[in-house]
Amino acid sequence: MTQTPFTTRPELSGDFGMVASTHWLASSVGMSVLDRGGNAADAAVAAAFVLHVVEPHLNGPGGEVPILLWDPADERVRVIAGQGVTPEAADIERFQSLGLDMVPGSGTLAATVPGAFAAWMLLLQQWGSWRLRDVLEPAISYAEHGWPVSAAIAGTIDTVSELFLTDWHHSATTWLPGGHRPEPGSRMRNPELAATWRRLLAEAESVAVTGREAEIEAARRVFYQGFVAEAIDEHCRKPFRDSSGERHTGLLTGADLAAWECPIEEPLSYDYSDYTVYKTGPWGQGPVFLQQLALLSGFDLTAAGHLSADYIHTVVESAKLAFADREAWYGDPDAVDVPIADLLSPVYNKDRRSLIGPHASMALRPGSPGGRTPVLAALASATANPSEPGWTAGIGEPTVSVDGSTRGDTCHLDVIDRNGLMISATPSGGWLQSSPTIEGLGFCLGSRAQMTWLQPGLPSSLRPGTRPRTTLTPSMATRDGRPYLAFGTPGGDQQDQWSLLFFLAHVHFGLGLQAAIDAPMLHSTHFPSSFWPRKSEPGGLVLESRIPDSVVAELARRGHVVEVTDGWSLGRLSAVGPDPLTGFLRAAANPRGGQGYAVGR
């Protein structure tokens, strides 16, 4: 008799609609939209704006979001590329003149054009059916009347409270009511954000336009050319202390916002057995998922056994090679030539696969796609481990405290409706701990420019008006050409490691969505972090303690620098999709952290 794998909660099944996200309030709001006749686009936008409110330490309107979308009307996957660009004034010389060798991880110097608002407006305008006022109302209500503070929000605010009180004064006004950290479980409000959305709606609706789509476009102009852009411009002219320990003014201007439009792009994809996996272009790290699949296609993972030492070693060594290529080759394809076809080619991956030996590699080994010579940032060698200055509070994902005990993160959201419209999105940025709250708006700017290098000539060098190479990476898969899965997780550099483990557990070992999410997780810290101060831990391998001691010992024997962490601490995955065998829709969400939930019927 086959034993049913352990799950922390049931995998949901139904035929009306499914919503899964990193916060139960957002999932509930998304489902309520479906129940009231909205489609998956309406539900995703409503849930996303609730996430801005209830997880302000993980995302916000000033951040960014890549969105993958399966449209049943033409049976295609599209990318809504909600990653804003660097300011026109942001060049390497400008930062070097300030005595900086890295873009700070916090403050306004690291700000890019907010991409999230435009991306959600584009989704609502072209694929939704509801008016903007209707999808914004739940977020406005939570911001006005309050939501329950999670322990993570309270802990994050506590970490940066001294900074707020001494330097980021409006952040203190917003996040330290009465001058004190909010207690877990208490009610938190953000009336300033609610007022921002009410004013934006009033101005958009006052324009003499007809039709839902025109009204949404008017709202986009209010944000990027009206009072929101004006407040952002004024905010960036003020000096704020950042992770360098110094006070700097920002470079982002209203003109930068007015000049940017969110593009819709074709995804990259890779065929793996009966599945085709879709990711963003190389302005995100998504192609490393595809590169890992290309490498792993030459191994018999099923025979190795799920979470065996052989399996983990093979997956981790493949990740090291793929992420080394990320460091050497990925950047905004609008600005640099990324050899993505070569990176995914069978010949290239056969050669790269031969580098995987019986012992853990300690080197950062990018390849030479098409015979090109790889170049790494001077600070990106696998032995690089820059020391942190004493002043580290306020940096964003992945760490917000001096000792690393409090971690920043991101959000994730998956939705499918009964007509087959399917969405996967990873909202992030605009973290309350990483950028001063904007007076008059109630939200913060993002800090994605920290992911660029202040060294000329690299694909991910800082360049004016280009996208930083973000870590945000939603996933989508079809099976035999039919829609199958939308999935993803927060987690910075770990996103395309945890998501890959989920996918492999499902594809190779037959685990259901919930069982694959609940299964023990792990990740490598071998390659340079995308976040300030860009640290790396050569050979580093973090494992949840539920992985057997014998497997841990064998991995250490093979040379991995093993760290065993709490058994339920890695990843915040969620997933939705149609079951081709039953015709039902499915959904699952991660129990780790006690916030994520899937709902559906």
Per residue in 158-189, pLDDT (tens digit) is: 999 999 999 999 999 999 998 999 999 999 99
Q: In the prediction, which pLDDT does 315 show?
A: 98
Of 3.40.50.10860, 3.40.50.10190, 3.60.20.40, 2.40.70.10, the CATH number of 282-386+477-600 is 3.60.20.40
CA-to-CA dists, residue 62 to 2, 209, 215, 255, 283, angstroms: 49, 26, 21, 16, 19
Average of per-residue pLDDT across 416-420 = 97
Three-state DSSP at 109 gives coil
Nearest Cα residue to 277 out of 485, 490, 576: 485
Residues 79 and 68: beta-carbon distance below 8 Å: yes
pLDDT digits (tens, 9 = 90+) for 297-317: 999 999 999 999 999 999 999
Q: What is the pLDDT of residue 386?
A: 36
Q: How far apart are CA 452 and CA 443, in angstroms?
A: 23
Higher pLDDT, 261 or 384: 261
Helix axes 40-54, 116-127, angle to 10 degrees: 160
Rounded to whole angstroms, the Cα distance separating 316 from 141 reads 45
Cβ-Cβ contacts under 8 Å for 68 (sequence gap 6 or more): 77, 78, 79, 267, 278, 279, 280, 423, 424, 425, 474, 475, 476, 486
591 upstream amide cis, omega within 30 of 0: no
Q: What is the pLDDT of residue 15?
A: 96
Domain boundaries, given as residue ranges, for the chain: 21-264+402-451, 282-386+477-600
For residue range 459-484, what is the model confidence (pLDDT) as tens digits? Answer: 999 999 999 999 999 999 999 999 99
Q: Is the pTM of this model over 0.85?
A: yes
Inform me whether the pLDDT recorded for 388 exceeds 90. no
**Nearest-angstrom CA–CA distance, 170 and 186:** 21
Cα gap 291→284, rounded to integer Å: 13
At 11, is the secondary structure helix, strand, or coil? coil
Q: By the 8 A CB rule, do 331 and 283 touch?
A: yes
- Which residues sit opposite 174 in a β-bridge? none
Question: Cα-Cα-Cα-Cα dihedral of 116, 585, 315, 471, to 10°?
Answer: 0
The stretches of 111-150 forming alpha helices (DSSP H) are: 116-127, 132-145
**Checking phi first, is residue 590 left (phi over 0); if not, alpha (psi -120 to 50) or beta?**
beta
Position 50 scores a pLDDT of: 98
Please compute the mean of the pLDDT values over residues 534-540 and round it to a whole number: 91
The secondary element (H helix, E strand) that includes residue 45 is: helix 40-54
pLDDT tens by residue, 564-600: 999 999 999 999 999 999 999 999 999 998 899 999 9
pLDDT of residue 379: 67
User: At residue 143, what is the residue type?
Assistant: A
pLDDT in tens, 104-154: 999 999 999 999 999 999 999 999 999 999 999 999 999 999 999 999 999
Which strand (E) or helix (H) includes residue 52?
A: helix 40-54
**Average pLDDT for the chain:** 93
Radius of gyration, alpha carbons of the chain: 22
| 210 Cβ contact list (under 8 Å, min separation 6) | none
Residue whose structure tokens are 């060698």:
381
Residue range 556-572, pLDDT digits in tens: 999 999 999 999 999 99
At residue 401, the pLDDT reads: 32
CA distance 232 to 254: 7
Task: Say which residue, 456 or 385, is predicted with more confidence.
Answer: 456
**Percentage with pLDDT > 90 across the chain:** 90
Backbone angles phi, psi at 208, to 5 degrees: -75, 80
